[in-house]
Structure 1
Amino acid sequence: MTLFSIIQFLNFVIFIFLSFIHFYWAFGGKRALDCVLPSQLSGKVFKPSVLGTICVAFFLLFFGVFPYILVGYVNYLYLLLFVLFGLRVIGDFKYVGIFKKITNTTFAICDKKYFIPLCIYLSVSNLFLFIFIG
């Protein structure tokens, strides 16, 4: 097993796991919602819709399986994922990312400890896959 296939499989597992979590939330799951929704001291910044959460779940599912089903466009999708997760690391300069201003909420703490490192890994690993697939 090559380093390329190990990273590709690890990304597959991460995306499938994240997809299932989003399906769980879309169909009424409540666990960890205080940690995953951006908030300010007065409450949540937004309440995601069921349809929006299902769409995110399907995109994450697609991100997990595309290397195994789309042969011709894989390189460009790796580049897209590098950019998307790189932008998520940078954030919106207020609630999410390394440059967020609100840093003392439950979400901000989870973002710093878990979500930013995960997004850095996903961004860098997809850049690696983009560079070495061609």
Structure 2
Amino acid sequence: MSLISIPALAIIAFAAVFHFYWALGGRVGLSVSLPQRADASPVMAHRFGWWRPAAGAVALWLVALALLLLGHAGHLSLPLPPGLVRWALLLVGSAFVARALVPNRYVGFFKSLRGTRWARYDTRLYSPLFLLLGLLLVAQALER
């Protein structure tokens, strides 16, 4: 296990556990799990009925990402070409970095709406984790 893959897998596991927990009905952290408008209402309130299945889907994608990372690091045999795994890690890592750094109204370090509870969590927890995970995935993809 490399020094790059260990923290990346820890972040992925942390996020996957929370998403599975929410998908199964958990409530801790739910109030700051979606971006909020200035009035603190969820941006995607009209899709709130889909929140739990969507959280489950995110958890499954995170597990798939962990498997790709383990496969690329040589700890798991995958039925995928190594080049495809490398490109997938580069693509996902780049998307995570962009999510943290690209200016947006609701998410990232340079978001314009900063006064909500969600925005504080995003600045202090979510965006740093997205940036770190993205950089780790890119580094791991470029390592081999």
**TM-score under structure 2 length normalisation:** 0.80
Write out the 4+ residue segments of structure 1 that deviate beyond 6 Å after TM superposition. none
1:95 pairs with 2:106? yes
Q: Percent identity?
A: 28
How far the C-alpha of 1:51 sits from its partner, in A, is 1.8
Deviates more, 1:101-110 or 1:30-39: 30-39
Q: Which residue of 2 aligns with 1:52?
A: 54
Could you give the per-residue CA deviations for residues 17-52 of structure 1, whole angstroms, max 9, x where no partner exists?
211110100111111122221101331112252221
Note the 1:28-67 alignment, pairs <5 A. Answer: 28-42=25-39, 43-46=41-44, 47=48, 48-67=50-69
RMSD over aligned Cα atoms: 1.8
Structure 2 residue runs of 5 or longer lacking an equivalent are 71-75
Contact 1:22–1:54 under 8 Å retained in 2: yes
How many angstroms apart in 2 are the aligned matches of 1:27 and 1:91? 32
Q: How many residues align?
A: 130
How many angstroms apart in 1 are the aligned matches of 2:33 and 2:107? 10
**TM-score under structure 1 length normalisation:** 0.86
Contact 1:12–1:63 under 8 Å retained in 2: no
